[in-house]
Amino acid sequence: GGFRLRFGDWRFALTSFHRPLLLAALVTGVRHFFVRQPPIYAHVAGQVQRWRRSIALRNAASVFAGSRPAILSAGLLAVLMFGYPPNAPPWRDYDNELLNLPLRWDAGWYLQIAQNGYSYIPAAGAEAQQNIVFFPAYPIATRVVALLLGNFQFSYVAAGTIVSLVSFLFALTYLYAFARDEIGEERAPAALWLMAAYPFALFFGAIYRESLYLLAALGAFHPFRRLMDSRIPAHCI
């Protein structure tokens, strides 16, 4: 498990969570000794309540729950009812079609980077496909979650899907706040449904970086603290 990297004469390795956890505990203890503020567990319950009261998050969760299962079901039914073109078998790692469903298109590249890192083969030539053309943020996030899930093969498929879905949920939250500023509170939910249901939206649940990119782009417009505070008037968010 973990990883080992080398940059010139510098070597970086993380093969166990024990040392980082001990270091984090030490840093936390020192910080709390010098800056005596309430620890995170003292205000987690209050923060969760703020999230539950957030109109933006509630609307986003409704659209998320109404669109993601429908798109997943449509994809699975298409595979079971129509199958695949003759002589064109898809990439399959499992016997279960539901588990194989995320393994489409560029998902293999992202999973390869998350598991093994970047590689470049000069001898392959300029026409060869290489994984260095993909940006690193999504594979890094996928790898971190996969390590937390046990660092076995299916962990990466599950992690990539989790990162995409969670990113999309919060992207919809930011989109609601942005749309509320532009078109009003009554029409803002329609913007969420259009984003979640238009044809390209299937990639927001795939092992792709689109959800993370959408979250980063929309998140640039609204601080998270203000977004989750339901007491702030709409015109101030």
pLDDT bucket at 236, cuts 50 / 70 / 90: very low
Higher pLDDT, 89 or 161: 161
Place of tokens 């083969």: 121
Give the closest residue to 178 by CA, choosing from 153, 215, 208. Answer: 215
Least confident of 1-5, 177-181, 215-219: 1-5
CA distance 175 to 165: 15
Higher pLDDT, 68 or 133: 68
CA distance 164 to 207: 7
Q: Helix count (H) and strand count (E) of the chain?
A: 10, 2
pLDDT confidence of residue 196: 92
Sign of the alpha-carbon dihedral angle for 104, 109, 114, 116: positive
pLDDT bucket at 134, cuts 50 / 70 / 90: confident
Higher pLDDT, 176 or 227: 176
pLDDT confidence of residue 19: 76
pLDDT confidence of residue 227: 57
pLDDT bucket at 220, cuts 50 / 70 / 90: confident
Average pLDDT of the chain is 80
> Which of 53-67, 68-82, 86-100 is most confident?
53-67
Higher pLDDT, 79 or 213: 213
Place of tokens 């994984």: 131
